[in-house]
A and B are shown apart, each in its own frame.
Chain A
Amino acid sequence: NFMLTQPHSVSESPGKTVTISCTRSSGSIASTYVQWYQQRPGSSPTTVIYEDNQRASGVPDRFSGSIDSSSNSASLTISGLKTEDEADYYCQSFDSSNWVFGGGTKLSVL
Chain B
Amino acid sequence: EVQLVESGGGLVPPGGSLRLSCAASGFTFSNYWMHWVRQVPGKGLVWVSHINSDGSSTRYADSVKGRFTISRDNAKNTLYLEMNSLRAEDAAVYYCARDVYELVLVPAALNYWGQGTLVTVSS
Q: Which residue of A lies closest to B110 (CB)?
A: A47
Interface size on A, residues (CB 8 A): 21
Q: CB < 8 Å: which of B37, B46, B50, B113 contacts A46?
A: B113
Binding site for B on A (CB under 8 A): 33, 35, 37, 39, 44-47, 50-51, 56, 90, 92, 97-104
Residues of B within 8 A of A92 (CB): 45, 47, 109-110
Q: Give the Cβ gap from B3 to chain A, nearest Cβ, in Å.
A: 12
Q: A99, B111: Cβ atoms under 8 Å? A: no
Q: Give the Cβ gap from A4 to chain B, nearest Cβ, in Å.
A: 10
Q: A90, B44: Cβ atoms under 8 Å? A: yes
Q: CB < 8 Å: which of A44, A50, A101 contacts B111?
A: A50
- Report the Cα distance A60→B18, complex, angstroms: 39
Over the window 56-76 of chain B, the binary record of Cβ atoms lying under 8 Å from chain A Cβ atoms (1 yes, 0 no) is 000101100000000000000
- Report the Cα distance A104→B39, complex, angstroms: 12
